Amino acid sequence: MSILWNSEQKTLTLETAGTTYQMAVDQYGVLRHVYYGKKVVPADMMYLHRNYDRGFSGNPYEARTNRSYSLDAVCQEFSSCGVGDFRLPSLRVLSPDGSRCADPRYVRHEIRPGKYALPGLPAALDADGDAATLEAVLEDPGCGLRVRLLYSVLPKKDIIARAVLYENMGTAPLVLEKAGSCCLELPFGSWDLIHFHGRHCAERTPERLPVMHGIQAVGSGRGMSSHQHNPFLILCDHLATEDRGDCYGMMYLYSGSFRAEVEREAYGSVRAVMSVGDESFRWTLLPGESFAAPEVLLSYADGLARLSQQYHAAVRENVCRGEYRLGHRPVLINSWEAVYFHIQPDRILDLARRAADLGVELFVLDDGWFKGRTDDNRALGDWVENRDKLPEGLGRLISDIRKTGLLFGLWVEPEMVSEDSDLYRAHPDWALTVPGRKPTMGRNQLVLDLSRKDVQDFIIHFVSGLLETYDISYIKWDFNRSMTDVYSHLLPAEKQGEVSHRAVLGLYRVLETLVTRFPHVLFEGCAGGGGRFDAGMMHYTPQIWCSDDTDPIERLTIQKGTLFGYPLSTVGAHVSIAPNHQTGRTTPIATRAAVAMAGGFGYELDLSRVAPEDLDAIREQIRDFRADEPLLREGLYFRLDEDLAGMDACAWLLVSPEKDKALLTVVTTATHANAPLMHVRFKGLDPDALYRLKEEDLTLPGSVLMHAGFTLPMLRGDYPSFRLHLERI
Ligand code: DGJ
């Protein structure tokens, strides 16, 4: 078992293949955080933590004569509120008397095989059959709160999954104002925070900053995980590189508003807390009720590359589910940038025929196919075919497309409603709006209130209807505005602080029902590009449209940031037309494909406007992609930017788990005359094996490629790229 309890030392030690995590119950019943890092032999590591009298730090009543003991100065698994720990709290609880004090202390624990599940929430699965779970129960009889801290160890993946169940064990209602899922303490060291910020068309830009004294926080209050901040953080040693240095990740399996806070306190220790909702979050717990705070996947690795690889394997194999989790996904063509709203059967069929001829496998009919949808101002909610655009019906179009040999996929945006729609006219109270107040509009549409079961059932019903009526293999599930006017017409005033989270739970119920009912359908997530690109969604949609920006040069940063935590298989990426519709930039088709292949590969362009030589290139690209797909999906991913520092280029490498194949990709972002040579060192190869460098007609030992490296030929022209396949011989 990978979880050990030492009853003499009162330590609980969690072990994965490469890491050790230790906590201990101290003399006051506080569950102390002791160690998390590289694997060590089992030992009591409480010696690391020395307590001194710290001025102006309070002492718990039972430690009033022991002034060296303060909750403000000890590392804990779950920080309290209102009782003398002035650092980041893991929770905030309002008692009926108006006080906000909660200090849950250890009462018992249980260790069991397997992975915990969370009611109504996504959670990683025990895909390797080796998981073990620790449930540590903490109670505060003073306010009547019990918290169950859940830890599941996924040993092969070097992941510790954490979640918290809050229970009202008292006789009076409690209001949770903050519900943390995970508190991580780093007692020693000097840390950098890497977070992923952005905007529409520039999601998940990585930013690395030293952790300062005080609190740094990122999060979302938009009811979606958001384009602006991603629920994934890395804390790494200030000197950490791709290859070396302590690196910790916190990945939230949650798709709504969240808060990720990091605090460096007076004595240098760092605490990070991930919690659900924003400052408007309020959840009433009646006596006997419980609340589940979503899951966080924690991971530790020596070096950033290894940390990314650990998350890639865990998300791909333990978080994503279903038939499309691993292996082949159809290469698709999407109609959006090809025709936008101008859907005409002849044009669509022409696109499908050309795509089929090139080797594409799936045709996706994007926005614009349903009743009244002439532009993006109307009709969301009226999910029946548009007979003006499709006089012979959607079924006829699908069957014609299927005759070309392509599978068929359809776009929907189920969580939204337009004011100008039959649905809104029939059910105005189904939208999130505040009585007596004109709602804030976004893309001239409103968000449906998914906290309501009738709304959830409507969505399940209409999506099921589409999937039962038509021959559909794929659904693109879009979400094109943030939540505002967060008010449910069904709930009383005191429950309005629950609506945002209830809506996310509603979405999860809808998706769970649909993916269970239609296991053969591939669901791709989307939110105006990558506005809801998170591991929570990946539990239902193993692929998510990464960004509405399809310019390959812009995508370099977007995809690099994304791939810090999420595997290539989750990244929806398409080759689009040049000049690009978002930037006006012209890039070679080879560069567009090289970038899109670092993701769920597809095309999104009007093929009738593509030059014949580019059509030949596309045919070739699809063949190449199929040949490389296992490597691209399951290979170990290495960023090579450290070798190219100061160069206008971006490089990455994929190495098969067996080390028998590798693929180097380099994309330049500017071309210079008489330029310095670009040089990279390979990683992750077998040093003793010989590799054939396919495009270079060279054979070299792995150790040479990894240490002496490889010098690239001079690349010329606008945005050239370079790909090199290695094969062990
Ligand atoms: C936003 C998506 O990100 C696009 O790909 C496209 O589906 C549009 N919505 C359609 O309205």
| Contact between residue 365 and residue 396 where contact means Cβ atoms under 8 Å apart | no
Output the DSSP codes for 302-343. ESHHHHHHHHHHHIIIII--STTSSS----EEESHHHHTT--
Ligand 1 nearest-atom number relative to CA 548: 3
Nearest protein Cα to ligand 1, atom 10: 367
Mutate which of 380, 480, 546 for ligand 1? The one with the most ligand atoms within 8 Å of its CB, which is 480
CA 411–ligand 1 middle distance (angstroms): 9
Nearest protein Cα to ligand 1, atom 2: 528
Nearest protein Cα to ligand 1, atom 1: 528
pLDDT at 327: 84
pLDDT at 153: 98
CA 374–ligand 1 middle distance (angstroms): 14
CA 477–ligand 1 middle distance (angstroms): 9
Handedness of CA 646, 649, 650, 652 (dihedral sign): negative
Enumerate residues lining ligand 1, CB below 6 A.
336, 366-367, 376, 411, 478, 480, 526, 528-529, 545, 548
CA 80–ligand 1 middle distance (angstroms): 43
pLDDT at 559: 98
Q: Is-cis flag, bond preceding 579, omega within 30?
A: yes
| Phi, psi dihedral angles at 156 (to 5 degrees) | -65, -25
CA 548–ligand 1 middle distance (angstroms): 7
Ligand 1 nearest-atom number relative to CA 527: 3
**Can you tell me the distance from the alpha carbon of 559 to that of 571, in angstroms, rounded to the nearest whole number?**
8
Q: Could you tell me the two tokens for 506?
A: 């509603």
CA 219–ligand 1 middle distance (angstroms): 24
Tokens 């230790």, located at residue: 22
pTM to 2 decimal places = 0.98
Ligand 1 nearest-atom number relative to CA 545: 3
Structural domains of the chain in order of their starting residue, each with its CATH number: 3-319 (2.70.98.60), 332-630 (3.20.20.70), 638-728 (2.60.40.1180)
Q: What do you get for the CA distance between the two ends of the chain, in Å?
A: 40
Output the DSSP codes for 130-155. --EEEEEEEEETTTTEEEEEEEEEEG
| Contact between residue 249 and residue 194 where contact means Cβ atoms under 8 Å apart | no
Mutate which of 411, 477, 532 for ligand 1? The one with the most ligand atoms within 8 Å of its CB, which is 411
Ligand 1 nearest-atom number relative to CA 526: 3
Extract the runs of DSSP E, i.e. beta strands, from 121-257. 132-140, 145-154, 159-168, 174-186, 191-197, 205-210, 214-220, 232-237, 246-252
Catalytic positions are 478, 548
The low-confidence residues of the chain, meaning pLDDT below 70, are none
Handedness of CA 67, 72, 76, 82 (dihedral sign): positive
One-letter amino acid for residue 99 of the chain: S
**Can you tell me the distance from the alpha carbon of 664 to that of 652, in angstroms, rounded to the nearest whole number?**
6
Ligand 1 nearest-atom number relative to CA 366: 7
pLDDT at 55: 87
| Phi, psi dihedral angles at 636 (to 5 degrees) | -75, 130
| Phi, psi dihedral angles at 635 (to 5 degrees) | -70, 160
CA 669–ligand 1 middle distance (angstroms): 27
pLDDT at 334: 98
Mutate which of 340, 366, 476, 558 for ligand 1? The one with the most ligand atoms within 8 Å of its CB, which is 366
Mutate which of 333, 335, 336 for ligand 1? The one with the most ligand atoms within 8 Å of its CB, which is 336
Tokens 């994304």, located at residue: 562
Exposure string of 552-586, with b = 16+ CB inside 10 Å and e = fewer, is: bbbbbbbbbbbbbbbbbbbbbbbbbbbebbbeeee
Those residues whose C-beta lies under 8 Å from the C-beta of residue 447, and which sit 6 or more positions away, are 223, 415, 416, 417, 431, 432, 481, 483, 484, 503
Nearest protein Cα to ligand 1, atom 9: 528
